[in-house]
Amino acid sequence: MARGETQDPKPRHVAVIMDGNGRWARNRGLPRAAGHRRGAKVAHEVVESASRAGIEALTLFAFSSENWRRPTHEVRLLMDLLRRTIRKELAGLDANDVRLSFIGDRSRFSAALANEMAAAESRTADNDGLRLIIAVDYGGRWDIVRRARDLAAAVQAGDMTVDEIDESQFSAGMSLSGWPVPDLLIRTGGECRISNFLLWDLAYSELFFTDVLWPDFDETVLAGALDWFAGRERRFGLVAAPAARR
């Protein structure tokens, strides 16, 4: 098995595509902004639930590289909400020993947001509780292309040979290197797609799709996903274990 792949009934690393904020708001006759604000609140609660459930790492997809295509006012609102949420949550996360990291392309963020992110990472860098990874301006294809370019540059500089490039070498420079791969992906909002999330890292993750809209997600839905996960037989290409063979 590759880096961190496990048969444990409990996932070490859960990744979440938090989808459905806009529909939640529309269903209530509210502006999309209200759905996003509610979504941020739910993210706070899920971080607490994940810690209680003994999950080691939680990766939340907050803004994809494609979400820049949304109307300017919504993009601005999401960036602003992110900055305000980091500021509001940081002390509490730190007090709860959460280590916060961000993955994604930071080059398009305002200096204010980029600084807030860097400060949050350095303040929590020595914490050894839940590892909370927020994917912002993240795209799975961006991550793979970035790594490929780094390796090509290393070869061009004579620091490594083409033959040295293998899966573990490639993996070592991906955004999630250093963490176990996600065992479980949860997507709320009813769509059964990856939307350019962790294309490399989800190769053997169990995929849980629920119609629940993100602002309605809670500890009960999380517990349902964890129960479902515990019933999976993860084969990683092998044949079934003898006891489980039918």
Name the residues annotated as catalytic: 19, 67
- How far apart, in Å, are the Cα atoms of 54 and each of 51, 57, 129, 216? 5, 9, 10, 22
Q: Which of 15, 43, 46, 78 binds ligand IPE (CB under 6 A)?
A: 78
Q: How far is the CB of 81 from ligand IPE (least distance, A)?
A: 9
- How far apart, in Å, are the Cα atoms of 65 and each of 4, 90, 154? 27, 24, 26
Q: Residue 88 and residue 120: Cα distance in Å, rounded?
A: 11
Under the criterion CB under 5 A, does residue 19 sit at the interface with Mg ion? Answer: yes
Chain residue at closest Cβ approach to Mg ion: 19
- Number of residues this chain uses to bind ligand IPE (CB under 6 A): 17
Q: Which of 20, 104, 139, 140 binds ligand IPE (CB under 6 A)?
A: 20
Between 77 and 155, name the residue whose CB sits nearer to ligand IPE.
Answer: 77
Chain residue at closest Cβ approach to ligand IPE: 22
Binding flags for ligand IPE, 47-66, as an x/- string (CB under 6 A): --------------xxxx--
* Residue 14: strand pairing partners: 58, 184
Which H or E run includes 153? helix 140-156
Binding flags for Mg ion, 83-122, as an x/- string (CB under 5 A): ----------------------------------------
Which H or E run includes 116? helix 111-124
Interacting positions 139-198 with ligand IPE (CB under 6 A):
189, 191, 193, 195
- Cα dihedral across residues 47, 129, 113, 88: positive or negative: positive
Between 82 and 151, name the residue whose CB sits nearer to ligand IPE.
Answer: 82
Residue 54's Cβ-count burial label (10 Å; 0-12, 13-18, 19+) is exposed
Contacts of 127 (CB under 8 A, 6+ apart): 94, 97, 98, 99
Under the criterion CB under 6 A, does residue 108 sit at the interface with ligand IPE? Answer: no
Q: Which residues bind Mg ion (CB under 5 A)?
A: 19
Q: Which residues bind ligand IPE (CB under 6 A)?
A: 17-23, 61-64, 67, 78, 189, 191, 193, 195
